[in-house]
Amino acid sequence: MSSGREFLDSALSQLKKAAEVLNIEPGIHLYMQNPKRTLIVAIPIRMENGEVKVFKGVRVQHNNARGPYKGGIRYHPNVTVEEVTALAMLMTWKCAVVDLPYGGAKGGVVCNPKEMTKTELERLTRRYTSMIYELIGPYVDIPAPDVYTDAQTMAWIMDTYSQIRGYQVPEVVTGKPVSLLGSLGRNEATSRGVAICVRETAKYLNKPLKGATVSIQGFGNVGSNAACILYDMGAKIVAVSDSKGGIYSRDGLNPYRVLEHKNATGSVINYDGCQNITNEELLTLKCDFLIPAALENQINSRNADMIQAAAVVEGANGPTTPEADRILYEKGVLVVPDILANAGGVTVSYLEWVQNLKRETWTLEEVNSKLESRIVSAYASVLEKSKKHEVNMRDGAMLLAVSRVAEAIRLLGIWP
């Protein structure tokens, strides 16, 4: 995982650029630069061998002018406060871009979940939840899954919070198992949002999606599901990768079978009929659409000039640095930014939250229809903003998001 400081500086740079174009008042710009609250906790748990270890946890609540804080919790050995702060800020903009009544937050625990048992992860999750308990809640801050956390993690958080409250509170988290009032379609929601953005980009570029070549860096939940959805739409998936490396096939590959191979072997590499490539090589392959769905700052000043894709659709958070953005814009490569492209996850999280508050359950068709409507509308709004100000889509998305958040702050006022 890349430098948290670099990532935060990148996020602040994007905000500054938008604030200058919009002529945001200095005080409101300063307000949006700083998270409202940062909580750092030491999480002691007893490991399976009897040893007690202490893990560092953090929860950053960036801004709640438009509604409760919303954002995932990640488990990773390289989590930093700066990284989580940047991600919380991005969540504020992401929610505003798709016009959800949320602000942004993010959480993280410094640990290596690959080296921990399920029991140890449960203890870690429940202890962490108990330590941030007073700062979360259905109308305050609603966590969700992120890197190396999943529906099971959310079930543990929901149960811990509910046990403390004394009654079931499913709406305290989203991304839960469907059997615990999670929403249908949530697991692949981020990927479906990415796929919808690829389809809308194909329309805008006047390229048929059927037969369009797609390379995907990162074959985790987002990347693998996006590959399958786009494959079903008729696109040709030519390359995918995971942390161990990637594979390439000029004739295209079946992502469903690649996923079976990965589940059996632990990686996509050495898949029959494909050439093994590095993650770096995947980024520079000639293709119609490149989807970076791994970690941040993967497309940077060192490799941006070698990108051969017609468009980059960001499945990951912050995969492109500001300098790379500039290079790609000058090259004529369209970049659909993360705060739009991967907003499908938070959109269906919102739909899950609404279902929970109403104690209703919607069909998959209802959920996907509402997701489609939100993403298509947001895509059109971002495109309109970028054309109006003659800027790239990331700047257009930021202008749209920052203007909405700034307006909420302005109307609420600074009290007392």
Q: Within a 10 A sphere around the Cβ of 415, how many other Cβ atoms?
A: 4
- State the CB neighbour count (10 A cutoff) for residue 114: 9
- Assign 3-class secondary structure to 158-225: HHHHHHHHCCCCHHHCCCCCHHHCCCCCCCCHHHHHHHHHHHHHHHHCCCCCCCCEEEEECCCHHHHH
Q: State phi, psi for 70 to the nearest 5 degrees.
A: -140, 130
Strand partners, 108: 58, 74
* Amino acid symbol at 10: S
Q: Kindly name the residue from 17, 53, 70, 106 that is annotated as catalytic.
A: 106
CA 276 to CA 304: how far, in whole Å?
Answer: 22
Task: Spell out the residues 6+ positions from residue 391 whose beta carbon is closer than 8 angstroms to its own.
Answer: 21, 399
User: Residue 275 is inside which H or E element, if any?
Assistant: strand 275-277
Residue 306 contacts residue 333 (beta carbons within 8 Å): no
Residue 57: what are its φ and ψ, rounded to 5°? -125, 155
The H-or-E segment that residue 121 falls in is: helix 118-132
**334-336 vs 311-313, strand pairing mode:** parallel
Using DSSP, how many helices (H) and how many strands (E) does the chain show?
Answer: 14, 12
106 among known catalytic residues: yes
Q: Which of 59, 104, 109 has the alpha carbon at shortest distance from 79?
A: 109
The CA distance from 197 to 334, in Å, is: 12
3-state secondary structure of 384: helix
Q: How far is residue 173's CA from residue 192's CA, in Å, rounded to a whole number?
A: 21
Nearest to 183 by CA among 357, 416, 367, 375: 367
Q: Give the closest residue to 207 by CA, choosing from 372, 334, 382.
A: 334
- Active-site annotation, residues: 106
